[in-house]
């Protein structure tokens, strides 16, 4: 159990020592004193001797007092003290930086009291804290690394440029390298800002009906120069017109990121294919390539921020592309899956809901 519904919160018992418990104690005492009275009557009728008449009630009340005290102590310990001690130990562990603690609730889901709810909330809080903590550390080291590399390049070439005896070619080469590094830096910052805005939901998708096929063609054309240079064959197989309702600008980022990856990871002479079909109310777009592919271990991480599987291409891009793509699709009710075989190629399949009937373009 790691989540409390509103209903459970409302129905949870608000006291572990309810009024009825004291009612029962009161009744027990009343009954006991009744028995005491009965004993007195019996003793005077039977004419028991005085010592017995005194000793028996004393022993009787001592036993009752012991019983009730022990019971009350046991109730307090079971329903309050032990849970609180458990929580105290867990809190101390969290304070020491161990986020793996879990305090099990004491009752089943249908008999929760406020202490159980507190435990469940506590567990959830600790889990969140733990994931924020790892995210923060990873993010920090990733960003620092991504910024440091191009900065070192800029610094190096700027120092080289400072020399007086440079040929024009060298000067141009160094300047070119500096320019590339600054482009990488600004690309990184743009991507980080976009991702951050999307994650904070500062950018809300603005769904509007548009033709995805036209958009796919336009995006593919942006890579014309690249595929001609790398002699990559582009195969396109799609309908003439398919209307979906989504944020056009955000979806453009999806296609350009997938296509740029396909082009990047496919060697000269390879093929990149865009296929589009419609099925059961959704449009399915597949971007596949005959590139280097990925092994299973890489596949597990490709949607993580800053993850780059293939280090030989690490200078291009910064590992934010697919994280951005996945985030956009999540926000657009879409999904993305990847299939890949090392050495053979990769296919990314995107599914998006079709625009409702009647919502079309004029
Ligand atoms: N078409 C592809 N073929 C092979 N590997 C891919 C492909 N697309 C993505 N990858 C893998 O996924 C990783 C993450 O991709 P992405 O988030 O776009 O970052 P980047 O392109 O900056 O490396 C890449 O580094 C690569 O290892
Ligand atoms: Mg990429």
Residue 60 has pLDDT above 90, yes or no: yes
* CA pair distance 160, 155, nearest whole angstrom: 9
Q: What does the pLDDT look like over 87-103, one tens digit per residue?
A: 999 999 999 989 999 99
Mean local confidence (pLDDT), 56-75: 94
* CA pair distance 158, 68, nearest whole angstrom: 86
> Which residues sit opposite 337 in a β-bridge?
349
| Residue 304 Cβ < 6 Å to ligand 1 | no
Question: Which pLDDT does position 223 carry in this prediction?
Answer: 92
Q: Is the pTM of this model over 0.85?
A: no
How is domain 208-353 classified at the CATH fold level? Heat Shock Protein 90 (3.30.565)
Residue of 195, 316, 322, 324 best suited for mutating to test ligand 1, as the one with most atoms within 8 Å of CB: 322
* CA pair distance 99, 115, nearest whole angstrom: 20
317 CA from centroid of ligand 2 (Å): 6
**Which string of DSSP letters, residue by residue, matches 249-290?**
HHHHHHHHHHHHHHHHTS-TT-EEEEEEEEETTEEEEEEEE-
Residue 361 has pLDDT above 70, yes or no: no
Which range of 6-10, 42-46, 294-298 scores highest in mean pLDDT? It is: 294-298
| Residue 291 Cβ < 6 Å to ligand 1 | yes
Atom of ligand 1 at shortest range from CA of 317: 22
Nearest to 325 by CA among 262, 279, 240: 262
| Pair of tokens at residue 16 | 């572990």
Q: What does the pLDDT look like over 110-160, one tens digit per residue?
A: 889 999 999 999 999 998 888 777 777 777 887 888 888 889 999 999 999
Domain ranges of the chain: 6-129, 136-199, 208-353
For residue 298, the Cα-to-chain-centroid distance in whole angstroms is 19
| Pair of tokens at residue 143 | 């960003």
* CA pair distance 190, 23, nearest whole angstrom: 68
Spell out the CATH class of 136-199.
mainly alpha
Q: Are 291 and 265 in contact (CB under 8 A)?
A: yes
Q: Which runs of E-coded beta strand occur in the chain?
A: 208-211, 233-237, 243-246, 271-279, 282-289, 335-341, 345-353
* CA pair distance 33, 41, nearest whole angstrom: 13
| Residue 150 Cβ < 6 Å to ligand 1 | no
319 CA from centroid of ligand 1 (Å): 7
Mean local confidence (pLDDT), 307-328: 83
Question: Which pLDDT does position 329 carry in this prediction?
Answer: 93
pLDDT band at 314 (very low <50, low <70, confident <90, very high): low
Question: Which pLDDT does position 359 carry in this prediction?
Answer: 61
Residue of 265, 266, 291, 315 best suited for mutating to test ligand 1, as the one with most atoms within 8 Å of CB: 265
> Which residues sit opposite 275 in a β-bridge?
237, 286
Question: Which pLDDT does position 244 carry in this prediction?
Answer: 94
* CA pair distance 213, 275, nearest whole angstrom: 10
* CA pair distance 287, 345, nearest whole angstrom: 11
pLDDT band at 191 (very low <50, low <70, confident <90, very high): confident
By CB atoms closer than 10 A (0-12, 13-18, 19+), residue 188 is buried
Instruction: Considering every ligand atom shown, identify the ligand nearest to the alpha carbon of residue 324 and give its number.
Output: 1
Q: Please, which contacts does 119-122 make with residues 24 or more away whose CB atoms are closer than 8 Å?
A: 119/83, 119/87, 120/1, 120/2, 120/3, 120/4, 121/4, 122/87, 122/90
Residues 6+ apart with CB under 8 A from 188: 146, 147, 150, 318, 320
> Which residues sit opposite 348 in a β-bridge?
287, 338
Q: Are 259 and 347 in contact (CB under 8 A)?
A: no
Question: Which pLDDT does position 338 carry in this prediction?
Answer: 97
Residue 362 has pLDDT above 70, yes or no: no
| Pair of tokens at residue 125 | 């809080």
Residue 310 has pLDDT above 80, yes or no: no
Helix (H, G, I), strand (E, B) or coil at 336: strand
pLDDT band at 245 (very low <50, low <70, confident <90, very high): very high
């Amino acid at each position: 159990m790691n989540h409390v519904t509103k209903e459970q919160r409302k129905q949870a018992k608000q006291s572990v020592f309810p009024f009825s418990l004291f009612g029962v104690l009161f009744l027990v005492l009343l009954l006991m004193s009744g028995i005491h009275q009965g004993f007195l009557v019996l003793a005077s009728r039977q004419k028991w001797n005085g010592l017995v008449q005194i000793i028996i009630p004393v022993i009787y009340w001592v036993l009752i007092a012991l019983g009730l005290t022990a019971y009350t102590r046991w109730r307090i310990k079971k329903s309050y003290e032990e849970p609180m001690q458990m929580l105290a130990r867990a809190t101390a562990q969290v304070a020491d930086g161990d986020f793996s603690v879990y305090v099990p609730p004491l009752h089943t889901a249908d008999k929760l009291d406020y202490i159980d709810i507190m435990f469940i909330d506590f567990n959830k809080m600790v889990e969140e804290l733990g994931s924020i903590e790892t995210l923060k550390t990873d993010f920090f080291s990733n960003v620092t690394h991504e910024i440091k590399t191009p900065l070192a390049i800029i610094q190096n070439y700027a120092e080289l440029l400072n020399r007086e005896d440079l040929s024009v070619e060298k000067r141009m080469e160094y300047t070119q390298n500096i320019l590339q590094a600054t482009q990488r830096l600004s690309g990184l910052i743009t991507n980080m800002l976009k991702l951050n805005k999307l994650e904070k939901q500062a950018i809300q998708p603005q769904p509007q009906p548009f033709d995805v096929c036209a958009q796919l063609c336009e995006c593919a054309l942006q890579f014309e120069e690249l595929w001609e240079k790398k002699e990559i064959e582009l195969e396109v197989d799609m309908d003439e017109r398919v209307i979906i309702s989504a944020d056009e600008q955000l979806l453009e980022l999806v296609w350009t990121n997938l296509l740029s990856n396909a082009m990047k990871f496919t060697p000269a002479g390879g093929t990149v294919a865009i296929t589009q079909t419609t099925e059961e109310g959704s449009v399915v777009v597949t971007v596949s390539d005959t590139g280097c592919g990925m092994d299973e271990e890489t596949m597990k991480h490709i949607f993580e921020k800053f993850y780059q599987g293939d280090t030989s291409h690490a200078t291009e891009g910064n590992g934010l592309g697919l994280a951005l793509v996945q985030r956009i699709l999540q926000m657009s009710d879409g999904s993305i899956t990847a299939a890949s075989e090392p050495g053979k190629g990769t296919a990314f399949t995107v599914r998006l809901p079709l625009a409702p009937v009647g919502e079309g373009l004029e």
